[in-house]
Structure 1
Amino acid sequence: MTVALYAEFTATPGNLERVRTLIDEFAGVVRAEPGNIRFDAHSVEAHPASIFVYELYRDPAAFEAHLAAPAGAVFNRALTDLVEGGGSTLTMLAPVSISL
């Protein structure tokens, strides 16, 4: 079963470009992880400093490997002084059965 989640955070005034650079660098690392399926970042159209990152992993083990990877800690430390509240809010997602 895949693991899906999204992370949300808002860049503080004057830090949006630095946050975007960090996301760009981190995306390359995460997308190279063997169990990563998607890592897509978006800004909220009406509030460009608000960032929404959708992540999808092959299975719980792949997600656990992602959490254990040192790059995540480095990324989160770098965000601390650049975003409101000092970090991101994670929301875990559950699949909804739909017929096609």
Structure 2
Amino acid sequence: MSDEAVTLFAEFTALRGCTEEVDALLRGLVADVRQEPGNLVFDAYRRTEEPDRFFVFEVYRDRAAFEEHLAAPYGVPFNKRLQELIMEDASQLTFLSRTAEP
């Protein structure tokens, strides 16, 4: 397993009439994920110009912490419900690599 932090963002679009339910569902997930020992950042946003479009920025200590996140007991129910409320088949993940040290 890599010792490098895992950084990514997820994007998805709520179906018409489901935006507030997606928002509430996501708020619950934020509270859970921020309690994970390997989570460093888990911030959820709605796009200002497209309020049905969500953006989640995530950073995990390392690959092992990210794998633990994926195995969390609340993840499967969250993703199952989210899939019913969004336009995409699932949240669209984009993994990032650091280009320079801060």
2:74 aligned with 1:66: no
Query: Whole-Å Cα distance in 1 between the matches of residues 89 and 96 of structure 2?
Result: 23
Displacement after TM superposition at 1:51 (Å):
0.2
Per-residue CA deviation, residues 35-86 of structure 1 (Å, 9 max, x unaligned), is: 0011001111110100000000011110010011121111100101100023
Question: How many residues in Structure 1 have an aligned counterpart in Structure 2?
Answer: 99
Residues 1-100 of structure 1: matches in 2 within 5 Å? 1-98=4-101
Query: Whole-Å Cα distance in 1 between the matches of residues 89 and 62 of structure 2?
Result: 28
Query: Whole-Å Cα distance in 2 between the matches of residues 87 and 79 of structure 1?
Result: 8
Which stretches in structure 2 are left out of the alignment for 5+ residues?
A: none
Q: Which has the higher strand share?
A: 1
Per-residue CA deviation, residues 12-36 of structure 1 (Å, 9 max, x unaligned), is: 1000000000000011110000000
Q: TM-score, normalised by structure 1?
A: 0.94
Q: Percent identity?
A: 45
Q: TM-score, normalised by structure 2?
A: 0.92
Q: Is the 8 A contact 1:5 1:90 kept in 2?
A: yes
Query: Whole-Å Cα distance in 1 between the matches of residues 33 and 52 of structure 2?
Result: 22
SS at match of 1:80: helix
Q: Which has the higher helix share?
A: 1
